[in-house]
Structure 1
Amino acid sequence: MKPTDVPTRNFPTAKEECRDLPPHPDYDGPGAAYNLAFKDESFLLRQDMRAVRMQLELMKPELLQNEQGVKSTIVIFGSARILSAEAAQALLTVAEDRGDEAGAARARRHIAMSRYYEEARRFAQIATAACVERGNHVVIATGGGPGIMEAGNRGAYEMGGKSVGLNIVLPHEQYPNPYITPELCFRFHYFGLRKMHFLMRAVALVCFPGGFGTLDELFETLTLIQTRKSRPRPILLFGREFWTKLINIELLIETGMVNPADAQLFHYVETAEEAWGLLESQPELAAPASAATP
């Protein structure tokens, strides 16, 4: 008999065992220790079990992405506060109708920044279409929330591709945007493990304007590559004017805080087409040999 001919497992699965557990009124009450350890929520949430919870946050996205055939990702970072052009224009219309000058000024600022939403959306469309056409397993991955994250997932969705959303629990709840592939929409407690998952499959990182969270993700990536903890991969910064005002790399070089070569760890881009032009020749983004045209 071949191993594959064995009709059943030798032991019941954990799921089956949980389903078939008989009740024990004398030991199932509050505070009882009788429950199976992996089914005991109060036990799993103890402070002493932090290491186990961290392991679970590492393993769940890893296993489920494997099951979905996600081998590599193009990660899109950026602000949750950047609106689409339509949403920004709607805010301006409402503010002007109310005679709200302060609101109108904020809306005009949103309109000016909305070009980044549109570029992120367009980039995700281009990258997804190319990867689907080439038959490789590279998908868009974002932080799963609104703004630039939504734009990335939206662009992939509009081209019929899968995309990943790595959400995080925040004091003001971050709701996942509606364009993430449901089987690839995850929620994290630990920022560190979320950032690790951003990089584990990344073949490139595309960073749009953002605040503290975006800067945290960007600088951790740069640090890991600079210190050779992570292999080099392209890092694209959308919007030279924004980034050169925010990060004075020349000052860091002049004062010896970084090496001149560190300025080559990233590239500035302005459009989705320019960004894809820098990435499309990457080995992971090329068509697999079996899919290549003879």
Structure 2
Amino acid sequence: MIDDPEMPCVKPAPAHPHQRIADLPWKTPKPATEDIDAPALVAEILHASNYRLADRDVAFLNRSDNRGLRLQLDYSKAETLLEEHGVAHSIVVFGSTRVPEPLAAQRAVEALERKAAGAPDDAALSKRLTIARRVLEKSRFYEVARDFGRIVGRAEGESGNRLVVVTGGGPGMMEAANRGAHEAGARTVGLNVSLPHEQYPNPYLTPSLCFQFRYFAIRKLHFLLRARALVVFPGGFGTMDELFETLTLIQTRKVKPVPVILVGQAYWRRAFDPDFLVEEGVIDPEDRDLFWYAETAQEIWDDIVRWYARCGTTLIG
């Protein structure tokens, strides 16, 4: 039809944002009526990993040359969600995953005592019992961490939900701190990490604030990005790794100083000797003063609040 310039121009309605009146040619695959092999060939293409969208192709994302993308995603997911939930400040709590609540530790000792009674000459069993008794003695710190979590949890409400307990998300001392905050009705964060032997998150974490990281390095970054204090309970390699890395970052002023409190002076004095390091000249006397010891939940909290007061600011300032 030839347009008639004398006829009024008809203005078309806006196109539907999703639907079409006539399907485009590629909406349906080539039918078998045109080529009997076509449906099978198309199916093979659709199921090939190469055809998947890049962000849905797990095998592609797991390639070594995409490590940069994975690092970015590891960082961005937690950062985005923490911001969306208004988490501005954190009290980071570390400690052994092997020290359970006192009742569980007592049951472990009793079970080994029964076994040892029937095998008095079993040296290996006797050693396990000795260690279990030491764990039982340290289990008192579970209640200290739990009490401390309650204190921080109550403070979260007073701070306008901006201050939270953050742990590695595992059992033991970390569970205790999360548990206390949970019992206080507060949100509580867990930064778990993917391991060859699966690590389950403890049950007291806020589901929307429990994250799993691929990389230890990105997890450590998130531990410190919002940290207003580091509270370290007795622990092993993992606990010491986080402690010494934090102290190194503060020592070098790579991060601003924050209170670092080691809970249980008797344990930590034996675990490492900072005075020896000063005497040997491998750290300065001022580096020894980057941390101190405490024994109770209230003492930990009072020390943190006092530290910020001496700085002329507040914990959530």
What is the TM-score of this pair, normalised by structure 2?
A: 0.79
Specify the alignment match of 2:187 in structure 1.
162
Match of 1:129 among 142, 154, 159: 154
Q: How big is the shift at 1:26? A: 4.8
Distance 1:22-1:256 versus aligned 2 partners, 3 A rule: farther
Aligned mates of 1:212, 1:26 — CA distance in 2: 49
Specify the alignment match of 1:196 in structure 2.
221
Distance 1:152-1:254 versus aligned 2 partners, 3 A rule: same
Aligned to 2:229, what secondary structure does the other structure show?
A: strand
Distance 1:284-1:56 versus aligned 2 partners, 3 A rule: farther
Aligned to 1:222, what secondary structure does the other structure show?
A: helix
Q: How big is the shift at 1:104? A: 4.3
Aligned mates of 2:79, 2:195 — CA distance in 1: 22
Match of 1:27 among 15, 27, 45: 45
State the number of aligned residues: 268
Aligned to 1:167, what secondary structure does the other structure show?
A: strand
Match of 2:301 among 253, 269, 276: 276
What is the RMSD computed on CA atoms of the aligned residues? 2.2
Match of 1:117 among 126, 131, 142: 142
Aligned to 2:43, what secondary structure does the other structure show?
A: coil
Structure 1: segments with no counterpart, 5+ residues: 1-10, 13-20, 289-294
* Contact 1:136-1:285 at 8 Å conserved across structures: no
Aligned mates of 1:90, 1:37 — CA distance in 2: 51
Specify the alignment match of 2:267 in structure 1.
242
Aligned mates of 1:159, 1:22 — CA distance in 2: 58
* Contact 1:75-1:140 at 8 Å conserved across structures: yes
Distance 1:34-1:284 versus aligned 2 partners, 3 A rule: farther
Deviations 1:156-187 (A, max 9, x none): 10000011101112222211000000001111
* Contact 2:148-2:180 at 8 Å conserved across structures: yes
* Contact 2:87-2:163 at 8 Å conserved across structures: yes
Q: How big is the shift at 1:29? A: 2.3
Aligned mates of 1:214, 1:104 — CA distance in 2: 24
Deviations 1:231-274 (A, max 9, x none): 11000000111111122111211121111110110011111111
Specify the alignment match of 1:17 in structure 2.
none
Alignment of 1:93 onto 2:110: yes
Aligned to 2:195, what secondary structure does the other structure show?
A: coil
- Structure scoring higher RCO (CA < 8 A, sep ≥ 6) equals 1
* Contact 2:86-2:161 at 8 Å conserved across structures: no
1:18-57 alignment runs, 5 A limit: 25-31=43-49, 33-57=50-74
Bigger radius of gyration among the two: 2
Q: Residue type of the partner of 2:225?
A: M
Q: Residue type of the partner of 1:94?
A: A
Alignment of 1:82 onto 2:99: yes
Aligned mates of 1:162, 1:245 — CA distance in 2: 35
Q: How big is the shift at 1:105? A: 3.3
Specify the alignment match of 2:204 in structure 1.
179
Structure 2: segments with no counterpart, 5+ residues: 1-16, 19-26, 30-41, 119-124
* Contact 2:95-2:234 at 8 Å conserved across structures: yes
